[in-house]
Structure 1
Amino acid sequence: MMDVEVEKKKEEIKLMLKERSKPVRLAQLKALERRLPTEHRIIPKLKEDIILREAGYRGEQSLDYYLNFLESQDFIFLHDLSLKGENGFFFQMDTVAICPQFIAIIEVKNLAGKICFYENTNQWIRKYNQKEEPIPSPIEQLKRQRMQLADWFINYAIPLKPILELAVFTNPSTYIESTSSTNQTLSRVILAEHLPTKLDALKKHYHTEKIKKSEQLKIATLLAKPINR
């Protein structure tokens, strides 16, 4: 495929994907809140859920800002993917990056405060406003998404590609701390402002092209199909 045709196809994909839109679930929760009486017993929980989902959406938007600083032009980004897995259930991914060297699943977290990873217990703790609370492991979440995406590729007869995992914290006040001596876990956990540098570095590390441009576009098109959402 000629470079002109490749660039044209990329633009078609961008138009097809459009900008990152507000999550459907968030819109549904807000609609439910408007319909319910203010004294309804589920209103407090509903408001809490809306606040969390709005924070997550703002985090995803800030991620898009940093992606503009990528040196490489070989990436195609797909946002808010919801794919049907082997078991018939859907799994979601905040952002998927596709380049000739690898595919990266990017999980976005918008949490303020200190995020601590304790290697001996494999636990993640958030310390904020003089409170401590456990949070779900972003690494375990990414592992599940990686396995589900690999199965999805097999289901569509797409040869398996290198799939990398990145947990990105977008809140500017976040501080990440770990007891790990090797930092193998934290190599997949970064702040949003470091994402462009991280992706460019991974491209250089995985320098061998494993996904041809035509295949890169084919995968992106298939992932973006409305049938998968």
Structure 2
Amino acid sequence: MIKKARTKPLKLLKYEVLLERIIPNHTQKPIIESSHRKYLAGYKGELTLDYFLTDLARDDYHIFHDLRIPRSENNQLYFQLDALVIHSKFCIIIEVKNLIGNLYFDHQYDQIIRSREGIDETFPDPVNQAELQKNHFCNWLLKHKFPVIPLHTLVVITNPKSYIRISPKYGNRAQKIIRGRTLANKIKEFRSIESENILQKKDIKRLSSMLLKEHTQHNPDILKMFNIHHNDILTGVFCPNCIQGAVLIRIKRNWLCASCSKTYMHAHKKAIIDYALLFSPTVKNKDLRSFLHMESQTSVKKLLYSMNLKPTGARKAATYTIPLPE
């Protein structure tokens, strides 16, 4: 049973909007593109994992994708789980890697060495990462007074084109590294090993509820990450039809593209969400007027009302809160 489905992360949405709106030939653009490719590859690997988890009997397992849970009371620190599988007998924390190339798990320096096209790169050992998340999750369970239950960890290599080698001295930890296609069988092995039902239905229900309640999306300041100034961002409502992102003109109740001559009624909606993703979900009318290239305060107010966005605060200081995608 899927208790929390995987959705496109806010960070990935922010990458996409930033690459669409950053000024051409910006010096940081190649760095942003490289970082985006790596993050997107990880997300695609997680989507592949989701496919392999569908092989499990839905009524026996409770599956959570992409959880981010606070480690401390003040919510300053978090731990993140690519996937969590809960069964009455055990829980499994899954770390996903979607690396392509020759992968060598090096026990001596706790790292993966990836060789591809004559270039070597190193990545942190995902087995250690999974064990660290396991410790955080264990502490979280204890803090919330859940029964002590066996916790297992797995590292799933989802890219079928990767070639895996493991150091001979890696030890029993090597059993935690598997291919995606063997995931369902590996989980069934845990089920045969663990005999006692630890979590009752009421425990699983409370655990599911608390995980969903405490989950918080990662919402980084994407401009600050790459030291991008507000003036480096292209403004306006872009044409959905033109590849070059032609800026639309507001005419009566429609948006007109001078390049392809097409009109759109709701093109402003994406632009407003773009603003929220890049700058802030809290915005004043005047800020949106500038961003949308509109002069009329009343017209912008009508657009916001059409999206069911109502102002809060005094008239001149009134702000609107744009809901971010979930």
Scaled by the length of structure 2, the TM-score of the pair is: 0.61
Match of 2:199 among 211, 217, 220: 211
Equivalent position SS for 1:139: helix
Q: Distance in 2 between matches of 1:183 and 1:71?
A: 31
Shift of residue 71, structure 1, vs aligned partner:
5.1
Q: TM-score, normalised by structure 1?
A: 0.86
Q: Which one of 120, 124, 137 corresponds to residue 136 of structure 1?
A: 124
Query: Gaps spanning 5+ residues in structure 1: where?
Result: 1-9
Q: Cα offset for 1:182?
A: 6.7
Q: Does 1:32 align with 2:8?
A: no
Distance in 2, matches of 1:24 and 1:78, equals 17
Structure 1 residue 117 corresponds to structure 2 residue 97: no
Amino acid at match of 2:210: L
1:79 aligns with 2:65: yes
Task: Please tell me the root mean square deviation across aligned C-alpha atoms, in Å.
Answer: 1.9
Classify 1:43/1:182 alpha carbon distance in 2 versus 1 (closer, same or farther; 3 Å).
closer
Q: How does 1:63-102 map to 2 (within 5 A)?
A: 63-70=49-56, 73-86=59-72, 88-102=76-90
- Asked if residue 62 in structure 1 is aligned to residue 60 in structure 2, the reply is no
Give how far 1:95 is off.
0.5
Partner amino acid, structure 2, of 1:83: I
For 2:69, the aligned partner's letter is L
Equivalent of 2:185 in 186, 197, 200? 197
Corresponding residue SS for 2:168: coil
User: After the TM superposition, which of the residue ranges 151-160 and 169-178 deviates more from structure 2?
Assistant: 151-160
Query: Could you report, residue by residue, the CA deviation over 1:120-160 in whole angstroms, capped at 9, with x for unpaired residues?
Result: 44332112222221111101111221111122222222233
2:110 touches 2:124 (CA, 8 Å); kept in 1? Answer: no
Q: What percentage of aligned pairs have identical amino acids?
A: 29
Whether the aligned pair in 2 keeps the contact of 1:71 and 1:200 (CA below 8 Å) is no
- Post-superposition Cα deviations, 1:76-125, rounded to whole Å, max 9, x if no partner, equal 10011011112731221111000011111111111111211123443321
Amino acid across the alignment from 2:89? Q
Shift of 1:40: 1.6
Range that drifts further, 192-201 or 128-137: 128-137
Which is greater in Rg? 2
Aligned residues: 214
Given that 1:85 and 1:148 are in contact with CA atoms closer than 8 Å, whether structure 2 keeps it comes out as yes
Q: Which piece of structure 1 moves more, 65-74 or 137-146?
A: 65-74
Gaps of 5+ in 2: 217-326
Please say if 1:228 is aligned against 2:251. Answer: no
101-110 or 174-183: which moved more? 174-183
Query: 2: distance between equivalents of 1:159 and 1:42?
Result: 49
Residue 161 of structure 1 and its aligned partner are, at CA, apart by: 2.1
Higher relative contact order at CA 8 Å, sep ≥6: structure 1 or structure 2? Answer: 1
Tell me if structure 2 keeps the 8 A contact 1:86–1:152.
no
Distance of 1:201 and 1:72 partners within structure 2: 17
Structure with the bigger percentage of helix = 1
Q: Report the Cα offset of residue 173 of structure 1.
A: 0.6
